[in-house]
Structure 1
Amino acid sequence: MKNKDALTKEDKKMLNSIFLRSFTIFAGRSGGQVRQHAAGFIYCLLPAFNRYYKNDPEGRRQAMVRHTMFYNITQNLGTFAMGLVAAMEKENSEDPNFDAHSIVAIKTALMGPMSGIGDSIFWGVLRVIAAGIGINLSLQGSILGPILFLLVYNVPSIICRYYMTYAGYTVGSNFISEINRSGLMSVLTKGASILGLIMIGGMTASTVTFTSVLSFPVSGSDPILLQTYLDSIFKGLVPLSLTLGCLFLLKKRVNINLIMFGVMGLAIVLALFGIV
């Protein structure tokens, strides 16, 4: 494993640029909820793309397109993914047999665990401690309240961002080379893909809901509820069908806004007819 001292001057210049650009990542939400901070991620990695694909415009274009996929990690730790991706893009630019799909797969696999750790530490613990200190001092009329709040929260955050950028790159360059040679890359890629599908399935089941209130009266018996029969066939059948339908439309390059308004319109129509 390389340490920071083993990095070249160009390596450090590139990583410092990625670190500084990481503060702008939340400004890059042009893709809305679908892509989250993908545009910001691409902007942060431009120093790596421009360096490793300097004489390969098509390779640089493919690298940028590759990272237009959904991206969202607690950014206090997200620079680790940036450093790791930079190391993987370096391998991809040098090795024609490198699987470029593994770059996105590994990045995607990091999102859940790193966001869970980052949110717990920085949002759940550090921010609360900083706010507690700042509020107590502010209630006493001290100007140190807001100042200490910003310092207690941001100093550890900035330090973590900086060192995680280097950690991702120094660990990544050796790590990626070794697992690529050993064949573990294909295993990790497959595992990351399975994990991503599990996460999407869980999100679909928990966030996409459909409950029908439509019932059919039966003489001398309780009315027949449509929802009961739908659940007996396949619980979550309608949400799953709706999700797959939206996916089909996205693959057909239908504008995401049209799909959203279409779903809203369908919901209004079903509500007017007393179905939901």
Structure 2
Amino acid sequence: MTTSNTDEKLITKKDLLHSACNIGALGMEYSWNYPRQMHLAFCLMINPMLKKIYADDPEGYAEALTRHVAFFNITPQLAPFVGGIAVSMEERVAKGELEGAAVDSVKAALMGPLSGIGDSIFLGCIRVIAVAVGISLASTGNIMGPIAYFLIYNIPAFLVRFIGAVKGYELGFSFLANAEKSGLMEKVMFASGIVGIMVIGAMSKDMFYATIPLKIGANVSGEDVQTVQTILDGIMPGMLGLSATWIYYWLLKKKVNPMWLILGTMILGVVGVYFGFLG
């Protein structure tokens, strides 16, 4: 499977800059779904460049599209960087120098670490600063409030998009190969595993909204009342959410249909609130 590619790069800087702000790149959240999350938007983002790479190879183009509708999730501003690396690798795939599976592996390896960095910078830092400045101006009636928020948040975001797309393509697979030889990738993957466990633990706690409000230990005057939830939080905050996550994980491993889990959760929530053992 080959194309008419030569040793020259088919993808231009203009292609990369356009990919950083096309409908796919800016719409990473629009087609988000639970099974594969940002997969359609990512594929749409790099699709024009895939068409150029596989211009003379319809079968190769179809295989590339199939690869890039696999699961993908990342801080949206960093998606063009991964797209640049993926496109650089696709050129090598088209020339027969690389297996297509390597593209999937690299994308999967980059999602976790880059999401941890990107979410911390854009959601935990820049957006907070932008909101603080915008609200402080808007509260005084200054029209610059929403404008300041828009500029403070979006100027760094678009700079990262544009620079990331170009640098990702320039670094390409060679950066990952060199990092692996030097042992850097092993350290990054180890650190990523730690970050990933922390993120999953935090999500299990923060995205679970049920409590157990059953009261125990109350005396006649109603003083010293404790709830089961208070006791659980005293042992380990988030224990209920983590336990629920493991139960769902175990049920999914047992091939229980997710729709039954969703329906069962809804029924349990309604019944639990009605009888007072969930809140």
Fold conserved between structures, TM > 0.5: yes
Shift of 1:194: 3.5
Q: 2:168, 2:136 → 1: CA distance? A: 30
8 Å Cα contact 1:25/1:41 also seen in 2: no
Q: 1:132 to 1:169 in 2, by over 3 A?
A: farther
Q: 2:175, 2:128 → 1: CA distance? A: 30
Q: Please list the CA deviations of residues 148-192 of structure 1 after superposition, one character each: whole Å capped at 9, or x if unmatched.
A: 997787666545432221122223443123124445434433432
Paired residues for 1:20-59 under 5 Å:
20-21=21-22, 25-26=26-27, 29-32=30-33, 36-50=37-51, 54=57, 55-56=59-60, 59=63
Shift of 1:200: 0.8
* Structure 1 residue aligned with 2:199: 199
Match of 2:273 among 266, 271, 274: 271
Match of 1:124 among 129, 133, 140: 129
- Tell me, yes or no, if structure 1 residue 107 matches structure 2 residue 108: no
Q: 2:61, 2:28 → 1: CA distance? A: 26
* Structure 2 residue aligned with 1:142: none
8 Å Cα contact 2:50/2:61 also seen in 1: no
8 Å Cα contact 1:29/1:35 also seen in 2: no
Unaligned 5+ segments in structure 1 are 1-6, 140-144
8 Å Cα contact 1:83/1:164 also seen in 2: yes
Q: 2:143, 2:249 → 1: CA distance? A: 51
- Tell me, yes or no, if structure 1 residue 84 matches structure 2 residue 85: yes
* Structure 2 residue aligned with 1:212: 212
Q: Which has a greater percent of helix?
A: 1
- Tell me, yes or no, if structure 1 residue 19 matches structure 2 residue 24: no
Q: 1:25, 1:210 → 2: CA distance? A: 34
8 Å Cα contact 2:25/2:42 also seen in 1: no
Q: 1:149, 1:190 → 2: CA distance? A: 36
SS at match of 2:213: coil
Q: Please list the CA deviations of residues 70-110 of structure 1 after superposition, one character each: whole Å capped at 9, or x if unmatched.
A: x24153x5422332343455566633494842421212210
* Structure 1 residue aligned with 2:3: none
Of all paired residues, the percent bearing the same amino acid is 25
State the AA in 2 paired with 1:73: T
- Tell me, yes or no, if structure 1 residue 254 matches structure 2 residue 257: yes
SS at match of 1:194: helix
State the AA in 1 paired with 2:206: S
- Tell me, yes or no, if structure 1 residue 178 matches structure 2 residue 178: yes
8 Å Cα contact 2:46/2:87 also seen in 1: yes
Q: Greater shift after overlay, 198-207 or 22-31?
A: 22-31
Q: 1:95, 1:268 → 2: CA distance? A: 53
SS at match of 1:56: helix
* Structure 1 residue aligned with 2:169: 169
State the AA in 1 paired with 2:68: M
Q: 1:152, 1:224 → 2: CA distance? A: 46
8 Å Cα contact 2:130/2:149 also seen in 1: no
Q: 1:225, 1:123 → 2: CA distance? A: 35
| Superposition CA RMSD, Å | 4.5
Q: 2:262, 2:108 → 1: CA distance? A: 26
State the AA in 1 paired with 2:107: I
8 Å Cα contact 2:89/2:172 also seen in 1: yes
Q: TM-score scaled by structure 1?
A: 0.67
State the AA in 2 paired with 1:38: H
Shift of 1:204: 0.9
Q: 1:62, 1:210 → 2: CA distance? A: 39
Shift of 1:203: 1.5
Match of 2:68 among 59, 64, 73: 64
Q: Number of residue pairs matched?
A: 259
Q: 1:189 to 1:102 in 2, by over 3 A?
A: farther
Q: 2:107, 2:193 → 1: CA distance? A: 12
Q: 1:136, 1:223 → 2: CA distance? A: 49
